[in-house]
Amino acid sequence: MEKAARKLIAGKVGVLPTDTLYGLVGSVLSKKAVERIYKLKKRNSRKPMIILIASLKDLNLFGAHIDTAHKNILNQVWPGKVSVILPLSSRKFHYLHRGEKTLAFRMPAKNSLIELLKKTGPLVAPSANPEGLPPATTAREAKKYFGGEIDFYISAGRRLSGKPSTLIAIENGKIKVYRK
């Protein structure tokens, strides 16, 4: 993971196991890495990606609006397999929010992933597959999708049979579920 952290900080793109599926990851601070991931996935350019964070403090980087109701709900669902859509005040990350002025964040429960995020900072982490195809459940499957286009692959040593994270928003202090 040390080597992966250095590569991600340098703006490289990789595939690694997350707490849900294999993710195609890159630093949120590298516009070039983010655009490369959109191209590799053949992802709709108006569709924002989920961002993995190590702590609530990471949200400050994005100017995410977190009131007491948000914070209480975030503390209930994180760490875990729940991605939360939050409104942003910063225009700095247009290349991430794609004009939506919101981003979905997830704080994973997987310790090795949290340690990586502490070293790299937040990462974009969509599933490791071209849009419209099934998510890779092994590093080998991811390699079939992307081959040498990816800078590094990390294998969990087993098949990941997780599902994409639950996607929610907090509206008027209540949870609205977009994806279970």
pLDDT higher than threshold 80 for residue 9: yes
- Per-residue model confidence (pLDDT) at position 67: 85
Q: Identify the band that residue 171 occupies on the pLDDT scale cut at 50, 70 and 90.
A: confident
Q: What is the mean pLDDT of residues 6-24?
A: 95
Which class for 54: exposed (0-12), middle (13-18), buried (19 or more C-beta within 10 A)?
A: buried
Q: What is the mean pLDDT of residues 24-29?
A: 97
- Per-residue model confidence (pLDDT) at position 92: 83
CB atoms within 10 A of CB 107: 23
State the DSSP code for 131: T
Q: What is the pLDDT of residues 135-149, one digit of tens each?
A: 999 999 999 999 999
Residues in Cβ contact with 78 at an 8 Å cutoff, skipping those fewer than 6 apart:
56, 84, 106, 107
Q: What is the pLDDT of residues 63-86, one digit of tens each?
A: 887 888 889 999 999 999 999 999
Give residue limits of the domains in the chain: 2-179
> Can you tell me the distance from the alpha carbon of 139 to that of 160, in angstroms, rounded to the nearest whole number?
9
Average pLDDT, the chain: 92
Q: What is the mean pLDDT of residues 18-30?
A: 94
Residues in Cβ contact with 9 at an 8 Å cutoff, skipping those fewer than 6 apart:
27, 119, 120, 121
Cβ pair 75, 160 in contact under 8 A: no
Full-model pTM: 0.94
pLDDT higher than threshold 80 for residue 2: yes
* Dihedral pair phi/psi, residue 65, rounded to 5°: -80, 115
Share of the chain above pLDDT 90, in %: 72
Is the model more confident about 67 or about 152? Answer: 152
CATH code of domain 2-179: 3.90.870.10
Q: What is the pLDDT of residues 84-131, one digit of tens each?
A: 999 887 778 889 988 888 999 999 999 999 999 999 999 999 999 999
> Can you tell me the distance from the alpha carbon of 153 to that of 161, in angstroms, rounded to the nearest whole number?
18
The amino acid present at 12, given as its one-letter code, is: K
CB atoms within 10 A of CB 144: 10
pLDDT higher than threshold 80 for residue 132: yes
